[in-house]
Structure 1
Amino acid sequence: MLRAYVFLFLAFLYAPILLLPVFAFNDGTVIAFPLNGFTTRWFSEMTRSRELHAALANSLTVAAAASILSVLLGLAAARANVRYRFPGKAAAMGLIMLPLVLPEIIVATSLLVVVVRFFEWPLTLWTVTAAHVLICTPFAVAILNASFQALDPAMEEAAIDLGENRASTFRLITLPLVMPGIVAALLISFTISLDEFIIAFFLTGSDPTLPVYIWSLLRFPKLLPVIMALGTILVILSVLILALAEWNRRRGLARAGVKDTGGFL
């Protein structure tokens, strides 16, 4: 019964996604059955849209910056959490991981009030990037926590005993051993930022990200097949990135000699 429940749950969750390529290759403009015929013209139309290219460039820029900053912050937080004891550590880690459980609509509204009313900053891609760092950092911390926990502290102590200082020990010993976790955290953070809509919708200015641009196209029924084609490409890229991140995670555990107890998702 449990296996049947899991199968039905996954089918209910992912069956709508499987319809994306079906209608992306459909020759008709109406998203409904029966299908009219096979075509690839919706994919070619994506290459002629300058607005789509600009939105994609905005999303890639925001995702790259947010993922790098999130991993740098997550690296420091995970290192401190695993290796050191200090007053208020549990409270600090709880605050860092809080965006994981808060509804995004609440986070987006709060950030909009802070940015516009308190700091009086204009809404730009920088505000979206800062907000994405906030929501991506907990995922990076969760992944890097596992990487640092799998690292034997005796290796760092041996390097220090042999004459290395703490900076060179971190650069030559610690960093290469946790690099698979860093790569996995980068890929996960990049995917989360690239797909995020609610916060980007609230904080974007005149330069929309790709999800916000896709939402704006929903008002034009004739462009829905183009959205289906674009969604098909995004789903494939997301699956490939997540698979690469999971492969890096497993490779890191295998190098550290730690038993794999399941994926980080």
Structure 2
Amino acid sequence: MAYVGDGRLVATPEVRAYLDAVFTPGSLLGARSDDPRQLVEVVEVTRLSSIRVPSGRLVVDTPWLEDEDGEPRELAVRIPPGVYGVDAAWTEAPYEFMGKHFSGREVAATRLCVREGTVAVWEMGLAVDDDIERLRQGDEVGFNTDTSTGAFGDATAWPALTAPFRNFWEQRRTAPGALVSRATESLDDGEFEMVRDEARGADLITFSATEGLSVAWLGRAEDGELISIVVMGHMGMEALA
């Protein structure tokens, strides 16, 4: 029997169509909110890197210290301990501003690839502390951020993996105006950042997220097996608006 998922978690038809198309170059995802005549097109899908998740427990959350008392959002779903590729879907929606022309190139979504296969169902990823019985149809669950930055990282190594961001924040707080750098590895001209924890054999990679709530979408095969985990970027939410 084919997996159908819980109706409270399954993506709406609009979100489903977007997630099905966003990693296919040439797909059209909608129009710019400020120019309905200009379509948003997927132009490229790139493999950013691979990350190690030795515990099989994955956090999808912002790496920044935005809530000192908050716990990282660890997904309830488990993945086999191992190494997983991370892809970015790039879109372009050209626009003109003050007489200059821009490509409008942005990250529409970032994907953690768990295994090969075709996604049959997209559903919201619950965190270990989420209670599905408290959800109503149309509710969304995910992580919140005011820095428009999310990350994939191993749950057991999360404090060590996010230390560069906490240290950067603290240095900026104690020495305002000083030139401070982060102890992270820049990927794709700084669009993404990577942190490696060799002691634990674990990694973290950041990605573009929306300001406010971002959902980790679980792509499942017909038998319910997890295929991928996707988070939309700013352009993704704009195209769906």
Same fold (TM over 0.5): no
Q: What TM-score results when the alignment is normalised by the length of structure 1?
A: 0.24
Q: What TM-score results when the alignment is normalised by the length of structure 2?
A: 0.25
If you compute each CA radius of gyration, which structure gives the higher value, 1 or 2? 1
